[in-house]
Amino acid sequence: MMQTKPPSPPERPPWWRGAVIYQVYPRSFADGDGDGVGDLEGLRARLGYIAGLGVDGIWLSPVFKSPMADFGYDVEDYRAIDPLFGTLEAFDTLLADAHRLGLRVIVDLVLSHTSERHPWFLESRESRDNPRADWYVWAEPRPDGTPPNNWLSVFGGPAWSWEPRRGQYYLHNFLTAQPDLNLHTPAVQDAVLAELEFWLARGVDGCRLDVANYYLHDPLLRSNPPRRCQERPADGVPDISPYGRQQHIFDKSRPENLGFLRRLRALFDHYPDSVTVAEVHDDDSVARAAEYVAAPDLLHTAYGFSLLGPKLSATLIRDSLEAFAAQPGTGWPSWAFSNHDVPRAVSRWGDGSPAFAKLLVALLGCLRGTLFLYQGEELGLPEADIPREQLQDPFGKALWPVFKGRDGCRTPMPWDGALPHAGFSAAAPWLPVAEEHRARSVADQERDADSVLAFTRRFLSWRRGQPALRLGDIAFADTPEPLLAFSRTLDGKSVRCAFNLGAAPITASCWGESLTLAGHGWVSVP
């Protein structure tokens, strides 16, 4: 008699698909040692709070050794924790505690550039014939002594600085203190992959890859063409920045980048439960993000800046998700409304009201993709207004007063409005606590069953029981602004979602019936 093989159990979806990941900006989350700057010990003491939100993991912005010219995004040593945040042992304890609570941990790796104090750069700049001479991007001046081409720094001014030791310019797409690595050099690729593996072997669950489309540049150093008048500026770039006047086709997003991304993915495949999350900062960041995840040998997921911009509309949301889905391949997207680089969404997009904050939490939670919730979104925190004399962000200092920089979204978490510095620290914090945040502190909202915090906890708890919202397909209904409606479907079971992005009530036909929603109202129907 023929033996029949029992059916194989269904393959478990990767943990990160449809996950909600909470971004922690460690300088501003919780201060454990009382010096006014958040740290790993402060974060560890608050892990229960994060787990209680109902999220799946943490994205931890950089805590590596750094001179802090760009607050950790200028790395001096990839394998050391900066003393400001703690020690490597403190990180290991934090990681273990997070795992015990069921929280995954993603670290933020900056591979396109280092600090000017990194030992690799200190050696590279000394001469043209040392062992690391080609580890950074060096170029001869033009005959008149000016930089080799017209590339600009995101932060303003030329992307080239003169180094007298070598008599050459070096490339920095951001601050002069952030020289760009030359990832065309195989030894540099080997070195940065080894830094990644150090953290994977230590047990982290993945890496967020800062500005992943900046890794490789045009080796011929050709100048970028000007942007034509009808073309929109690059996603995530302030309109006043000269950076937006160029088409960035030679200084980033090069086709050669895909080869390095495949090497990077091959490393992560040796750690099969880990994830790569790419940040993409491009003229069309949705298309570029989709390109970077289009095949199984590329990255796991990626996000761009299309939903981190200044205007919210139903069309924007629909166009962004449908544009990603229309790209070749079957890649998985990620989405965020707020993070450490842009003004908080409740202020950037709306009136800052609790009702609007709840709408944004629900809307984000119903989108198809891996979702990132920035610290304070669960409280509905508005953007803080930082006086010029207390400004810390070099981007804001360069473009003040037209652009005030990123400090307004980076102010300390308000844990208890009745305490000094809202319970963030016993000392004066590195950025002031916004007074309007005190009334929205964690302690205050935990006493209010109708608060944004209480809503976020209920919503994320409910979402966990809706497989269609985590993994299902999405199909949009044709509705007028400001109504956004779509269905999420998995295995024949659907959840229908509708959101009124405006402040006034709206009635419209949707799914063959009349639907009425209050201002900033929403509904989800299994």
* Dihedral over Cα of 214, 220, 223, 227: its sign: negative
pLDDT of 232 reads 60
Which neighbouring-strand residues pair with 498?
485, 523
In a domain, 162, yes or no: no
The residues, ordered by sequence, that sit 6+ positions from 338 with a Cβ below 8 Å of its Cβ are 308, 344, 345, 348, 374, 376, 377, 409
pLDDT of 400 reads 87
Asked whether the beta carbons of 378 and 361 are under 8 A apart, the reply is: yes
DSSP at 136: B
Which positions are annotated as active-site residues? 210, 279
In a domain, 497, yes or no: yes
Which neighbouring-strand residues pair with 370?
334
pLDDT of 507 reads 95
Alpha helices in 425-512 (DSSP H): 435-438, 442-446, 452-464, 467-471
In a domain, 502, yes or no: yes
pLDDT of 254 reads 97
Residue 483 sits in a domain whose CATH number is 2.60.40.1180
Bond into 401 cis (ω within 30): yes
pLDDT digits (tens, 9 = 90+) for 233-281: 556 566 677 899 999 999 999 999 999 999 999 999 999 999 999 999 9
Q: What is the pTM of this model?
A: 0.96
In a domain, 436, yes or no: no
pLDDT digits (tens, 9 = 90+) for 150-167: 999 998 899 999 999 999
Cβ burial, residue 258 (10 Å; 0-12/13-18/19+):
middle
For the chain, the domain total comes to 1
pLDDT of 136 reads 99
Which neighbouring-strand residues pair with 60?
24, 107
In a domain, 487, yes or no: yes
Range of the domain at 486: 473-525
- Does residue 84 sit in helix, strand or coil? coil
Q: Position 139: which residue type?
A: A
pLDDT of 5 reads 42
Asked whether the beta carbons of 272 and 300 are under 8 A apart, the reply is: no
What stretches in the chain show pLDDT beneath 50? 1-9
Bond into 482 cis (ω within 30): yes
In a domain, 324, yes or no: no
In a domain, 518, yes or no: yes
In a domain, 499, yes or no: yes
